[in-house]
Structure 1
């Protein structure tokens, strides 16, 4: 089963880190990424750009492009991981590893329902 781990954080806090603080955190996070890659568990992962540069598409038909993500919380979605895990418990364990090295972040674990017209889903 594939799971998305969505990384939320207060964007202002992340932007306030020095280059050295950010590099130290990234080093720790990349160690987890490397372990998951070696185990064949890690799919795409990304650190997202600033929310100030984001847009939202909403509304009927073709929709309307509106500036910003309009998050309702003080945390914004700043990154994500896609993992191939046997079950939710395994995905939670990975999120706990991430939380250990980035304790002020919030991680949402969500199953991914793949929809590929004409292509069967991979069975785990």
Structure 2
């Protein structure tokens, strides 16, 4: 079953950690990628740019309105993800706990749905 392990970050939390702690987070991601690649559970991963670099697009009455930045004001933002293919929800939770950011903020574990609405 495929799961998305969504990483959220609060900039205030990230700014509060030392450079050594940040470097350990980056190194931890390297170790995590190696682990899930070797286990065959890695499907993909991407890091996202700061929300201020994004654009929110709305269509109302046929009028397209792009707005710079994120739609919602929030302390935490979605900053990256891993997609894994593993045997169970429990294994997906176990993997999420290994992502270094779990110690700073949180990792959301979401199963994918197929087009019929059943879990994949």
**Cα offset, 1:107, TM superposition:** 0.8
Q: Which runs of 5 or more residues in structure 2 are unaligned?
A: none
Residue in 2 that maps onto 1:23: 23
Residue in 1 that maps onto 2:43: 43
**Cα offset, 1:85, TM superposition:** 1.2
Runs of 4+ residues deviating >4 angstroms: 15-20
**Distance (Å, rounded) in 2 between the aligned partners of 1:34 and 1:78:** 20
User: Aligned to 2:49, what secondary structure does the other structure show?
Assistant: coil
Question: What TM-score, normalized to structure 2?
Answer: 0.80
Aligned positions, number: 115
More strand per residue: 1 or 2? 2
Question: What TM-score, normalized to structure 1?
Answer: 0.78
Q: Which runs of 5 or more residues in structure 1 are unaligned?
A: 116-123
CA RMSD of aligned residues (A): 2.4
- Worse overlay, 8-17 or 20-29: 8-17
